[in-house]
Amino acid sequence: MTLDKRTHDRTFVRTFFTTPTAEKGVEDSAKKLRSAIELRGMQAPDVWVPDNEDATAPNMRDEGAENIAEVVAESGADFPGEIHPRVVWHRDSPETRYQGFQHMLEIADPENGAIEHIDGFVIPEVGDIDDWKKADEFITIVENEYGLEEGSIAMSVIIESGSAELAMGKLREEMGKADNNLERLFLLVDGEVDYTKDMRAITPTGGLPEWKELRHNTSRAASAAGLISVDGPYDDIRDVEGYHDRITANNAMGMLGIWSLTPGQVVEANKSPLPPATGYWLIDADGREVELESEDGVEVYSGDRIELEEEDGGYELEVGSTEIFCESEEELADELLDLVDYVPSMDDIVDSMEEFEAAKEAGKGAIAMTRAATIEIDGVQVDVSSDRMWDEATYQALMTPVKLFQDVYENRPDQHDDLADLYSEDVVERAIEVGN
Amino acid sequence: MTLDKRTHDRTFVRTFFTTPTAEKGVEDSAKKLRSAIELRGMQAPDVWVPDNEDATAPNMRDEGAENIAEVVAESGADFPGEIHPRVVWHRDSPETRYQGFQHMLEIADPENGAIEHIDGFVIPEVGDIDDWKKADEFITIVENEYGLEEGSIAMSVIIESGSAELAMGKLREEMGKADNNLERLFLLVDGEVDYTKDMRAITPTGGLPEWKELRHNTSRAASAAGLISVDGPYDDIRDVEGYHDRITANNAMGMLGIWSLTPGQVVEANKSPLPPATGYWLIDADGREVELESEDGVEVYSGDRIELEEEDGGYELEVGSTEIFCESEEELADELLDLVDYVPSMDDIVDSMEEFEAAKEAGKGAIAMTRAATIEIDGVQVDVSSDRMWDEATYQALMTPVKLFQDVYENRPDQHDDLADLYSEDVVERAIEVGN
Amino acid sequence: MTLDKRTHDRTFVRTFFTTPTAEKGVEDSAKKLRSAIELRGMQAPDVWVPDNEDATAPNMRDEGAENIAEVVAESGADFPGEIHPRVVWHRDSPETRYQGFQHMLEIADPENGAIEHIDGFVIPEVGDIDDWKKADEFITIVENEYGLEEGSIAMSVIIESGSAELAMGKLREEMGKADNNLERLFLLVDGEVDYTKDMRAITPTGGLPEWKELRHNTSRAASAAGLISVDGPYDDIRDVEGYHDRITANNAMGMLGIWSLTPGQVVEANKSPLPPATGYWLIDADGREVELESEDGVEVYSGDRIELEEEDGGYELEVGSTEIFCESEEELADELLDLVDYVPSMDDIVDSMEEFEAAKEAGKGAIAMTRAATIEIDGVQVDVSSDRMWDEATYQALMTPVKLFQDVYENRPDQHDDLADLYSEDVVERAIEVGN
């Protein structure tokens, strides 16, 4: 990233990856920074955050600020994502805020040669909107001091207090005001550990609460103010499945970005919001979603939570402990239709988009999209088929993953090969065209 | 509805039924409007919405506005519900907003003879509160232009953006201001498909997220500002059970209205929030709520998720995989009491209300309401009985379904026969008297 | 409590216990007040509320106000908790508000000798923030009238309307204003029965909805404005387990206080948010959390939702209907690690805190805390061990239960014996030292 391509370049951010800025007692205290800035492809995040706050020991942070400047000056030009260092800040401590200001002055000093590759700063522990404005003002001074355009340095905040959560409801009113440059706002990032402390929540095991309302409110604020929402760190880096499930749940709330603590998490978070390469069917097996296995065009359920057999000229379907007798294959198909659902591939999605666009050009406002399959349970095969009405609103709502893909494709050339491997060149080409 | 009975006549709205206003290539492009305005009884909605936005193709909307005026002029006088046409609007498009204004001018023109049967307009895709005010101002101009009383045309909005969701938190402050007529506000309707797009949410199957927080916030705003909240469309019109479950979940959040896409959905949505004609018992069968079958005054569980047998001079109760040994019938009754719950009929509710009112007159502030039953599981019968303390607050809170019923009874004479068929004349008469 | 120790003395409140202030037709109409003010130890609440609103019949409330003054004058000096009488109030009724004002004047009259033991008043049924200010102003007048310091009488409110829920979002802006004394605010208490009425919610059984969003918003407002959040009454006083579960769920949202209707509920609510005396392991048995039994240092699962056996040189683990084959003990340990979790005792928590503090002094910013156990299922024993990284944020977040304990220890000497019995003298001493 270079100066002319900085703030608000991305409209989607999948990954927010933090790296300690300085370590004591090692030969090169900036070693981890050097290693992170070399990441490419799926291992490289959309937003990289040299973290001069929690990830770095308090007495190493002055050195950390220098390390950021040095490493970004050296290698920032080639880094494929955006670079947003996190500095120290606290709504309750003027001392900490002044320290954060000094670190920003240090990192952005043009003499260090880093600022042209830096896209913005991340401000943690903000409070009410007036506290956000203090950080905004410091960044304005930094810009003015170094001859940068006002508003050109982005500002992201970590939401880790009840007051910051409430502040997000005021962004639309505050962002246009003459006395601030809050238009520089970029990411709203939840920080659940400190939020838990601020809310004084207690769980028996010490595990983090869900904080679903916080995530909704963050996503909503991002939507209302034209920003991007990002979920906080997922501590159990061993638990890939749990991380993936969290991303899926976040995506259903419109929160498409997540914090990553390791390059492994970055890979997972870069890929999770994109549609799969191959579509598949799901079945609701007595309250648990199970993926059907596709065998020669037949979708097979092989668990034991659902049982099916032909009996007395009809079908006996047992889901968990509920038995349903179906008199005909049609009735059985109706029952199964309530249980199954299809996860479309990127290819499927592009097909549907193209089909709807063609219909629109032919003057139709709504068309039925059909999805059919042969389902097999306990050796019995049933054909099911469902129609879904698509209108302009459906089309627009289902366009989100495609737009995300297009944003990735445009901004992350280093991931082109990975995307082509995943989807095939042909699908990639159609996906970048559709809707434009 | 006639002019003198318009805005804010209803304090409850169960159904919001939309109809396309014009179709291309059919002999009578207003055919669907004509058919909808003839609906009566349980098939007729509380609020009927000739939909000149999404349900009608963009190039048919001028004709749609004319059709609304024509059909409502012809048959609006006899329509039993309120009539609120939806016009086009978008927070991001002055062109669309101006078009909506023109359609309102067309529909409300007294020369067309429709306006005296029209209760208000529905404005979709609103943004922040200042955008709501633009629509309010256009309606004020319409009123002034045609000599109607200022504020007499109701305005309902569709909440389908994060900014509109946030705007709902400001209604109490904004509605009294001298420079607007926002007191005309009537319904707050969630529009989940477009909201999903605005929030940029992604689900693997393309299904709609739950948006529980949105629904809570809409219900809360309606409660705080004296408005009525309505949930968005339920697309799968085949799935009656799912629609019913959604209504039940909405009702528990105070959202008593729902969008209907077909007369069949209207029937379901008109009936669902009303208490049942016959009460019944529920049992929590290892996490699943099951209705007990009433046989000769005994409530029988016949599934296999709960097992019960007499053993060693006591009772062995097995719920899912949890076994509980009860030493006495009393102990068993206590265990069962935790599992069962009663859904009172309209008759039961009126009985309880009357009993509490009598106690109040006798100078008591709180009384115990007893509910008893004989439960049978695996042939073993147990008598259970529970007391619930009722005070003024309980009485008031449980009055909501009765008040809804009374509102329906007063405003929908065309449903009197259906209500009498459902509950009996006697119960209807007591239900309209209680609490007054 | 005496005058100099009043408002804002507690930073944590576990229990909010209401008592009727007057009963008709009994010899001593203040009998319940006299009995409640004698409570000590775990049976005595942190906040005691002589309830001159819903708990007392409307025609007895003047006498109730006199009773409060009399009983508190007699015995208030020795009561171990704070005393906050509830008076009548309603956002929609100036008559009720004036009555509440008169009752406050009566109760606080220095001639009655009660005011020096009274810490504040509880105002129910508040509406928007301007309604809160009316109550605040009356209390200011009471203070001025009787020569008390402005702001010295605390004010707590019951949130039982959508407008009050919205008002909580404005506290930070309003509390500092020159024309009010809203700094006197103390508790934000949810009142779900009346809230259900105000929201017009309906459930089939008449049971209370969950109102999870309300509880989140109350907890958040308390966090943002430096107040304390308290959940409403739990009606089924027989159901101790349900009450405990509700408290656990509330605590995970940062709502550490709850209403108590009986001394039995007070005991439960005083103890529930404190860490247990003995730690224990939990296992996720196919969606249900089960406590493992500790036998000679081995944690044993003896249910039948999880099965484990050695087979084919590996292990067959069956959770519900999902079978997992593990090739080695290490693989099995990994699988089990995903299922188990540890609930630390107070002793464990203090150990961890001390360990982290020592590491911090030695210059380390983050350390791994190890938790190990031997798990036994179907006779097969497996050693599992997990590391959790602790940094300053983890330390701070997990400090909440310890801070709660320290607040209790400082403010409730009458509970010292109970705490020593529960945890041992030694653990208590270390717990009150740690973190200071």
Quickly state the pLDDT bin for A6 (edges 50, 70, 90): very low
Residues of B annotated catalytic, as ranges: 391
**The tokens of B28 are what?**
């009578």
Q: Which of A220, A389, A394 sits opposite B199 (nearest CB)?
A: A220
Q: Is residue A236 over pLDDT 70?
A: yes
- B334-357 pLDDT, tens digit per residue, is 999 989 999 999 999 999 999 999
C152, amino acid identity: S
Nearest chain B residue (CA) to A401: B202
Exposure pattern of B360-369 as b/e (b: 16+ CB <10 Å)?
A: beeeebbbeb
Q: Is residue C349 over pLDDT 70?
A: yes
- What's the average model confidence in pLDDT over C73-96? 98
Q: Which of B213, B220, B392 sits opposite C199 (nearest CB)?
A: B220
Does C273 contact chain A (CB < 8 Å)? Answer: yes
Quickly state the pLDDT bin for B187 (edges 50, 70, 90): very high
Contact call for residues C117 and C108 (beta carbons, < 8 A): no
The reply to whether residue A202 touches residue C392, judged by beta carbons under 8 angstroms, is no
Determine the pLDDT at residue B8: 60
The correct CATH number of A15-271 out of 1.10.2020.10, 3.40.50.300, 3.40.50.720, 3.20.20.60 is 3.20.20.60
Q: Is residue A3 over pLDDT 80?
A: no
Nearest chain C residue (CA) to B397: C197
Contact call for residues C175 and C138 (beta carbons, < 8 A): no
Q: Which of A54, A193, A199 sits opposite C254 (nearest CB)?
A: A199
Q: Is residue B18 over pLDDT 70?
A: yes
Exposure pattern of A231-268 as b/e (b: 16+ CB <10 Å)?
A: bbbbbbeeeeeebeebbebbbbbbbbbbbbbebebbbb
- What's the average model confidence in pLDDT over A396-421? 96
- What's the average model confidence in pLDDT over B3-23? 79
Does B321 contact chain C (CB < 8 Å)? Answer: yes
Alpha carbon distance B2, B17 (integer Å) = 19
Looking at the complex, report in whole angstroms how far the Cα of residue A226 sits from the nearest Cα belonging to chain B: 10
The reply to whether residue C56 touches residue B401, judged by beta carbons under 8 angstroms, is no
Looking at the complex, report in whole angstroms how far the Cα of residue A431 sits from the nearest Cα belonging to chain B: 17
User: CB pairs under 8 A, 24+ apart, for B244-247?
Assistant: B244/B268, B244/B272, B247/B272, B247/B273
**The tokens of A110 are what?**
């043009």
Q: Is residue B400 over pLDDT 50?
A: yes
Determine the pLDDT at residue A386: 84
Q: Is residue B284 over pLDDT 50?
A: yes
Residues of A in contact with C344 (CB under 8 A): 205-206
Looking at the complex, report in whole angstroms how far the Cα of residue A205 sits from the nearest Cα belonging to chain C: 4
Determine the pLDDT at residue B251: 98
- What's the average model confidence in pLDDT over C120-129? 98
Looking at the complex, report in whole angstroms how far the Cα of residue C167 sits from the nearest Cα belonging to chain B: 9
Contact call for residues A190 and A13 (beta carbons, < 8 A): no
For residue A94, with 0-12 CB atoms within 10 Å meaning exposed, 13-18 middle and 19 or more buried, which class applies?
exposed
Determine the pLDDT at residue C179: 94
CB atoms near residue B28 (< 10 Å): 11
Q: Which of A223, A251, A389 sits opposite B202 (nearest CB)?
A: A251
- C360-386 pLDDT, tens digit per residue, is 888 777 788 889 999 999 999 999 998
Contact call for residues A246 and A234 (beta carbons, < 8 A): yes
- A181-232 pLDDT, tens digit per residue, is 999 999 999 999 999 999 999 999 999 999 999 999 999 999 999 999 999 9
Does B210 contact chain C (CB < 8 Å)? Answer: no
Cβ under 8 Å to A: B residues 349-378: none
Quickly state the pLDDT bin for A8 (edges 50, 70, 90): low
What rounded mean pLDDT belongs to chain B?
Answer: 94
Q: Is residue A233 over pLDDT 60?
A: yes
The reply to whether residue A224 touches residue B166, judged by beta carbons under 8 angstroms, is yes
Determine the pLDDT at residue A401: 96
Q: Which of A217, A338, A344 sits opposite B206 (nearest CB)?
A: A344
Phi and psi at residue B133, in whole multiples of 5°? Answer: -65, -30
- B188-205 pLDDT, tens digit per residue, is 999 999 999 999 999 999
**The tokens of B25 are what?**
């290539």
Cβ under 8 Å to A: B residues 80-99: none
Quickly state the pLDDT bin for C8 (edges 50, 70, 90): low
- What's the average model confidence in pLDDT over A246-275? 97
Determine the pLDDT at residue C288: 85
Q: Which of B202, B235, B238, B305 should one mutate to test binding to chain A, selecting the residue with the greatest count of A CBs within 10 A?
A: B202
The reply to whether residue B193 touches residue A393, judged by beta carbons under 8 angstroms, is yes
Q: Which of C341, C337, C342, C311 is nearest to C325 (CA)?
A: C311
Q: Which of C28, C236, C387, C391 is catalytic?
A: C391
For residue C25, with 0-12 CB atoms within 10 Å meaning exposed, 13-18 middle and 19 or more buried, which class applies?
exposed
The reply to whether residue B342 touches residue C205, judged by beta carbons under 8 angstroms, is yes
* Chain C adjacent subunits, 3+ CB pairs under 8 A: A, B
Quickly state the pLDDT bin for B67 (edges 50, 70, 90): very high
Determine the pLDDT at residue A2: 36
Looking at the complex, report in whole angstroms how far the Cα of residue C222 sits from the nearest Cα belonging to chain A: 8
DSSP state of B292: P
**The tokens of A13 are what?**
């951010």
Looking at the complex, report in whole angstroms how far the Cα of residue A221 sits from the nearest Cα belonging to chain B: 7
Per-domain residue ranges of chain B: 15-271, 280-397
Quickly state the pLDDT bin for B320 (edges 50, 70, 90): confident
- B141-177 pLDDT, tens digit per residue, is 999 999 999 999 999 999 999 999 999 999 999 998 9
Q: Which of A28, A245, A383, A391 is catalytic?
A: A391
- C242-289 pLDDT, tens digit per residue, is 999 999 999 999 999 999 999 999 999 999 999 999 999 999 998 888
- B239-280 pLDDT, tens digit per residue, is 899 999 999 999 999 999 999 999 999 999 999 999 999 999
Q: Which of B169, B216, B344 sits opposite C166 (nearest CB)?
A: B169
* Chain B adjacent subunits, 3+ CB pairs under 8 A: A, C
Name residue, tokens 């809409």: B218
Looking at the complex, report in whole angstroms how far the Cα of residue C385 sits from the nearest Cα belonging to chain A: 13
Please give the angle made by the CA atoms of A116, A121 and A126, to the nearest 5 degrees: 165
Determine the pLDDT at residue C383: 96
Quickly state the pLDDT bin for A102 (edges 50, 70, 90): very high
- A124-136 pLDDT, tens digit per residue, is 999 999 999 999 9
Q: Is residue C76 over pLDDT 90?
A: yes
Q: Which of A212, A221, A252 sits opposite B201 (nearest CB)?
A: A252
Q: Which of C128, C202, C207 sits opposite B256 (nearest CB)?
A: C202
Identify the helix (H) or strand (E) that includes residue C214.
helix C212-225
Cβ under 8 Å to B: C residues 36-55: 54
pTM above 0.90, yes or no: yes
Residues of A in contact with B259 (CB under 8 A): none
Determine the pLDDT at residue C135: 98
Quickly state the pLDDT bin for A4 (edges 50, 70, 90): very low
The reply to whether residue A202 touches residue C273, judged by beta carbons under 8 angstroms, is yes
Nearest chain A residue (CA) to C249: A203
Does C128 contact chain B (CB < 8 Å)? Answer: yes
Looking at the complex, report in whole angstroms how far the Cα of residue A93 sits from the nearest Cα belonging to chain C: 16
Determine the pLDDT at residue C225: 96
Determine the pLDDT at residue B391: 84
The reply to whether residue B254 touches residue C200, judged by beta carbons under 8 angstroms, is yes
Identify the helix (H) or strand (E) that includes residue A377.
strand A367-377
Cβ under 8 Å to C: A residues 222-261: 235, 239
The reply to whether residue B194 touches residue A396, judged by beta carbons under 8 angstroms, is yes
The reply to whether residue C201 touches residue B388, judged by beta carbons under 8 angstroms, is no
Q: Is residue B386 over pLDDT 60?
A: yes
Identify the helix (H) or strand (E) that includes residue C341.
strand C340-343
Phi and psi at residue B304, in whole multiples of 5°? Answer: -120, 20
Alpha carbon distance A399, A397 (integer Å) = 5
Nearest chain C residue (CA) to A126: C224
- What's the average model confidence in pLDDT over C291-306? 93
Alpha carbon distance C2, C7 (integer Å) = 10
Nearest chain C residue (CA) to B12: C200
Phi and psi at residue B385, in whole multiples of 5°? Answer: -155, 135
Q: Is residue C221 over pLDDT 70?
A: yes
Q: Which of B70, B151, B149, B60 is nearest to B111 (CA)?
A: B70
The reply to whether residue C389 touches residue A24, judged by beta carbons under 8 angstroms, is no
